[in-house]
């Protein structure tokens, strides 16, 4: 009997990551389909044929579920831009451009596919500001890395690479902030490539239009 109980425990423990993932996938689907506000933990539990108490074993609240959903979503784009930043055989200028494009396309895709994303993001920004802040900081870290490297090799001419990277980050908010992209898609803005060239210029990049190879 003891052995059976142990085996059952092992099974539960082994399935824990899977259960966690299933809860998050289901929650994300509900958030997309009926919206964050209208989704209840009971809905999620029912769909997964488990008790709400079991969901609460993994996440203490709906807020905690949303935080995990947001974190999962943001980790993907963070990994992508980090890999672009680490690419060899590309100038810092070209990598910066590629990162901005990736951030923009990720945001655009997510907002177009998901009209209720604003509600999730709003909930995260209101209830879980730290999750959002950390995501923003991780993007900034990647931008700082690329600008610093460009400054070191003389490709960029900036006094304070850290601050210059923050300026780039803030300047692209119109193209990468879910609230602006999802709520005001018709607000006027220059084409992204024009904006990228403008920012490369602010970094003192020479001939940014032709930057691509080191």
Residues that bind a second copy (CB under 8 A): 125, 129, 133, 136-137, 140, 163-164, 166-167, 170-171, 173-174, 177, 179-180, 183-184, 186-190, 194-195, 198-199, 201-202, 204
Closest CB 189 distance from a second copy, rounded Å: 5
Is residue 143 within 8 A of residue 96, CB to CB? The reply is yes
DSSP for 46-63, please give it: HHTTS-HHHHHHH-SSHH
Helix, strand and coil content of the chain, in percent to the nearest 5, comes to 75, 0, 25
Q: Which is nearer to a second copy, 68 or 176 (CB)?
A: 176
By beta-carbon proximity to a second copy, the closer residue of 26 and 182 is: 182
Cα–Cα distance for residue pair 134/115, rounded to 1 Å: 24
Q: Least distance to a second copy from the beta carbon of 45, Å? A: 32
89 or 188: CB nearest a second copy: 188
Minimum Å gap between C-beta 74 and a second copy is: 15
Nearer to a second copy, 60 or 137 (CB): 137
Closest Cα partner for 203 from 170, 158, 171? Answer: 158
Nearest distance in Å: CB 190, a second copy: 4
């Amino acid at each position: 009997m003891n052995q059976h109980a142990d085996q059952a425990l092992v099974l539960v423990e082994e399935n824990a990551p899977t259960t966690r993932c299933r809860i998050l996938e289901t929650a994300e689907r509900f958030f997309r389909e009926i919206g964050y506000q209208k989704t209840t933990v009971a809905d999620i539990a029912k769909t997964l044929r488990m008790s709400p108490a079991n969901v609460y074993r993994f996440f203490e609240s709906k807020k905690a579920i949303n935080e995990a959903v947001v974190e999962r979503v943001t980790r993907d784009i963070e990994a992508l831009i980090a890999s672009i930043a680490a690419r060899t055989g590309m100038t810092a200028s070209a990598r910066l451009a590629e990162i901005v494009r990736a951030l923009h396309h990720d945001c655009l895709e997510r907002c177009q596919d998901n009209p209720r994303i604003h509600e999730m993001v709003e909930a995260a920004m209101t209830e879980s500001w730290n999750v959002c802040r950390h995501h923003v900081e991780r993007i900034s870290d990647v931008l700082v890395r690329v600008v610093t490297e460009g400054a070191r090799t003389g490709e960029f001419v900036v006094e304070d690479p850290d601050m210059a990277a923050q300026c780039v980050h803030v300047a692209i908010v119109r193209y990468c902030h879910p609230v602006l992209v999802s709520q005001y898609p018709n607000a006027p803005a220059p084409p992204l490539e024009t904006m990228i060239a403008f920012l490369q210029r602010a970094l003192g990049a020479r001939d940014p239009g032709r930057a691509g190879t080191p």
